[in-house]
């Protein structure tokens, strides 16, 4: 479910383009990763898709419906965990369904489903400060899923995790995504993460950001990170991304 289309999207801040003429599609059920140098406008693109910001020009559609205000049909997972510290794991996950006015029993059934799905059974009544980074991020993912979104927008959700937890979380995310095929637009700085997760990888140019290159990752899942095919793809993507990073730091 959920087909996101960005048509000629630009966003100016203080009269200068942060993103310029972005044309991009996330197909139904597709996992698309967005890579690009720092400051190229990745978060801006996600915020625009979520309807939290408005393009200076261009249009954005979700299932052919133009996005004009805060888009309730998408779930946002932020880099920082952004959980409510005064709510338990269950309370955080139940927030969206409660706001929607869903029946109490239905809310409980839904939250338990997602608590189990992200592997937090037994931690329902813990508060965020009692959880590890990986666990907090699971709550963030469960909370986004519990809103029944058509599109998941994720902004470097695993950026703050250590390498091993990050690998585990990537596997977990794919497991959940494969069960409930929601279209996903996932921002990362890690080429390895993109090649492990995505159906397609989009590399953005340095600011003003635009779509520079697109890579199809036609590797069966579960993927072997060390396969020659994955290595080859990583090398091509790194080359494309590296050229953009060099524009920012020419001496490197």
Ligand X SMILES: Nc1ncnc2c1ncn2[C@@H]1O[C@H](COP(=O)(O)OP(=O)(O)OP(=O)(O)O)[C@@H](O)[C@H]1O
Q: Does 91 bind ligand X (CB under 6 A)?
A: no
Whether the Cβ atoms of residue 35 and residue 87 lie closer than 8 Å to each other: no
Task: Compute the least distance from the CB of residue 37 to ligand X, in Å.
Answer: 7
State the DSSP H helix or E strand holding residue 238, giving kind and residue range, or none if neither.
helix 228-248
239 contacts: CB under 8 Å, gap ≥ 6 = none
Q: Would you say 91 or 208 has its CB closer to ligand X?
A: 208
Asked whether the CA dihedral 88, 179, 45, 73 is positive or negative, the reply is negative
Beta bridge mates, 152: 75, 184
Task: Compute the least distance from the CB of residue 10 to Mg ion, in Å.
Answer: 18
Q: How far apart are CA 222 and CA 159, in angstroms?
A: 22
What are the two backbone dihedrals, phi and then psi, of residue 213, each rounded to the nearest 5 degrees? -155, 150
Whether the Cβ atoms of residue 203 and residue 213 lie closer than 8 Å to each other: yes
The one of Mg ion, ligand X, none whose footprint includes residue 205, by CB under 5 to 8 A per kind, is none
Q: Would you say 109 or 247 has its CB closer to ligand X?
A: 247
Q: Does 207 bind ligand X (CB under 6 A)?
A: yes
Question: With the CA atoms of 18, 141, 191 and 25 taken in that order, what torsion angle do they form, in degrees rounded to the nearest 10?
Answer: -60
Q: How far apart are CA 212 and CA 210, in angstroms?
A: 6
23, 38, 132, 231: residue in contact with ligand X (rule CB under 6 A): 38
- Touching Mg ion, residues 32-51 (CB under 5 A): 42-43
- Per-residue contact string for residues 17-36; x = within reach of ligand X by CB under 6 A: -x-----------------x
The one of ligand X, Mg ion, none whose footprint includes residue 133, by CB under 5 to 8 A per kind, is none
Token look-up 């590890």 returns 132
Task: Compute the least distance from the CB of residue 18 to ligand X, in Å.
Answer: 3
Query: Which one of the spans 25-33, 42-50, 97-105, 225-233 is the region binding ligand X (CB under 6 A)?
Result: 42-50
Q: Does 205 bind ligand X (CB under 6 A)?
A: no
Task: Compute the least distance from the CB of residue 20 to ligand X, in Å.
Answer: 11
Q: Does 188 bind ligand X (CB under 6 A)?
A: no
Q: Does 185 bind ligand X (CB under 6 A)?
A: no
Helix 104-117, helix 133-146: angle, nearest 10? 140
Task: Compute the least distance from the CB of residue 50 to ligand X, in Å.
Answer: 13
Q: Give the binding-site size for ligand X (rule: CB under 6 A).
A: 11
Q: Would you say 120 or 203 has its CB closer to Mg ion?
A: 203
Question: With the CA atoms of 179, 181, 184 and 186 taken in that order, what torsion angle do they form, in degrees rounded to the nearest 10?
Answer: 20
Which stretches of the chain bind Mg ion, using CB under 5 A? 42-43
Which stretches of the chain bind ligand X, using CB under 6 A? 13, 18, 36, 38-44, 207
């Amino acid at each position: 479910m959920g087909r996101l289309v960005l048509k000629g999207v630009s966003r100016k801040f203080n009269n200068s383009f942060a993103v310029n003429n972005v044309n991009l599609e996330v197909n139904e059920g597709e996992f698309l990763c967005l890579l690009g140098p720092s400051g190229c406008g990745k978060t801006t693109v996600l915020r625009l898709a979520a309807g939290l910001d408005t393009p200076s020009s261009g249009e954005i559609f979700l299932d052919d419906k133009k996005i004009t205000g805060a888009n309730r049909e998408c779930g946002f997972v932020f880099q920082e965990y952004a959980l409510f510290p005064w709510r338990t794991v269950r309370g955080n996950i139940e927030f969206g369904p409660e706001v929607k006015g869903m029946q109490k029993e239905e809310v409980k059934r839904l939250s338990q489903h997602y608590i189990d799905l992200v592997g937090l059974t037994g931690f329902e009544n813990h508060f965020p400060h009692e959880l590890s980074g990986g666990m907090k991020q699971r709550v963030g993912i469960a909370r986004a899923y519990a809103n029944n979104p058509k599109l998941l927008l994720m902004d470097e959700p695993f950026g703050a995790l250590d390498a091993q937890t990050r690998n585990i979380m990537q596997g977990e995310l794919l497991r959940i995504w494969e069960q409930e095929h929601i279209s996903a637009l996932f921002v990362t700085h890690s080429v390895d993460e993109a090649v492990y997760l995505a159906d397609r990888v989009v590399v953005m140019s340095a600011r003003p950001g635009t779509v520079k290159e697109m890579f199809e990752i036609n590797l069966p899942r579960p993927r072997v990170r060390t396969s020659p095919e994955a290595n080859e793809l990583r090398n091509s993507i790194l080359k494309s991304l590296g050229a953009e990073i060099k524009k920012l730091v020419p001496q490197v």
